[in-house]
Amino acid sequence: MGKTTTAINLGASLAANDLQVLLIDSDPQGNSTTGLGLQKSQDQPGLYDLLLGTAKPEEVIRSTDLEGLYVISADKNLIAANLELVGIEDREFQLRHRIAGLRERFAFALIDCPPALDLLTLNALIAADSVLVPIQCEFFALEGVSELMDTIDRIRDAFDHPLEIEGILLTMYDDRTNLTRQVAADLKQFFADEIFATVIPRSIRLAEAPSFGKPILGYDPRSKGAESYIQLAKEVLDHEQARKSAQGAR
């Protein structure tokens, strides 16, 4: 329970704040797509078609059952995109170019990345302004986050892209276990203010929700998981307000 669960439920929680939110499913498994109750159809253009320039943004954006939340879907065709993008000029910037015109329409665009660092992930990171890092509270957590931070530094340098860290989110959190408490303490010591105050609890209800094609807000709005993602959305909105205030003060 990590990146896709967070993409779906943070998107839903931001949309519940009367915001227009776009979730871009960049993982060929398409779990964000099906987790919001959308079918993966060969007849429906998705991110693959957008990246390769065979469809326009307005042709690939799909509505969901939650007002304000929209999706650009993924399917297994995305696997081929990694190969087909290789021969394209500025291949790492294709997603950034394709969605540039959507910035005025949506308050937030969230990208659910693949688990591997490939061309799809690189396109997502270069299209993004900031990165939210969900991390499970397990033994190798610190090592995994450290490697990701190194990757982000390399992207900043290689592509002159000022990618920010939105925050590190502790998921599968169970404060009854010594391991969870120790991992959380280590991460907070190492990354300090980059750790979100909100933690996402280990939750059966959160794990069940995608099989019903719903975010936790639609499946069990009174659960601890739903409360946690609502709180996370508030933190993200506070970060955004602080950024705007800082820019206005310059």
Predicted local confidence at residue 250, as pLDDT: 67
For 129-157, what is the mean pLDDT? 89
Percent residues over pLDDT 90 in the chain: 74
Q: pLDDT of 222-231, one tens digit each?
A: 999 999 999 9
Predicted local confidence at residue 220, as pLDDT: 97
**Number of domains observed in the structure of the chain:** 1
Query: What stretches of 25-118 show up as alpha helix (H) in DSSP?
Result: 31-35, 47-51, 57-60, 78-84, 94-98
- Residue 120: which domain range? 3-249
* 194: pLDDT strictly greater than 60: yes
Residues contacting 167, CB < 8 A, separation 6+: 132, 133, 194, 195, 196, 235, 236, 239
For 146-154, what is the mean pLDDT? 91
For 183-198, what is the mean pLDDT? 90
Give the closest residue to 107 by CA, choosing from 74, 125, 129: 129
Predicted local confidence at residue 247, as pLDDT: 79
CA of residue 185 relative to chain centroid, distance = 24
Whether the CA torsion 224, 225, 228, 229 is positive or negative: it is negative
pLDDT interval class at 145 (50, 70, 90): confident
Predicted local confidence at residue 190, as pLDDT: 86
CATH code assigned at 28: 3.40.50.300
Spatial separation of the C-alpha atoms in residues 46 and 38, rounded to whole Å: 12
Predicted local confidence at residue 183, as pLDDT: 87
95 phi and psi angles, rounded to 5 deg: -65, -40
Percent residues over pLDDT 70 in the chain: 99
The model's pTM is: 0.94
Which of the residue ranges 12-21, 60-69, 187-196 would you say has the lowest mean pLDDT? 187-196
Q: pLDDT of 160-184, one tens digit each?
A: 999 999 999 999 998 888 888 888 8
The one-character DSSP state at 204 is H
pLDDT interval class at 238 (50, 70, 90): very high
Q: Give how far Cα 230 sits from Cα of 52, 95, 132, 190, 221, Å.
A: 35, 28, 16, 26, 10
Cα three-residue angle 24-29-35, rounded to 5 degrees? 65
For 14-34, what is the mean pLDDT? 96
For 201-222, what is the mean pLDDT? 95
Q: pLDDT of 59-114, one tens digit each?
A: 999 999 999 999 999 988 899 998 999 999 999 999 999 999 999 999 999 999 99
Predicted local confidence at residue 179, as pLDDT: 85
Predicted local confidence at residue 126, as pLDDT: 96
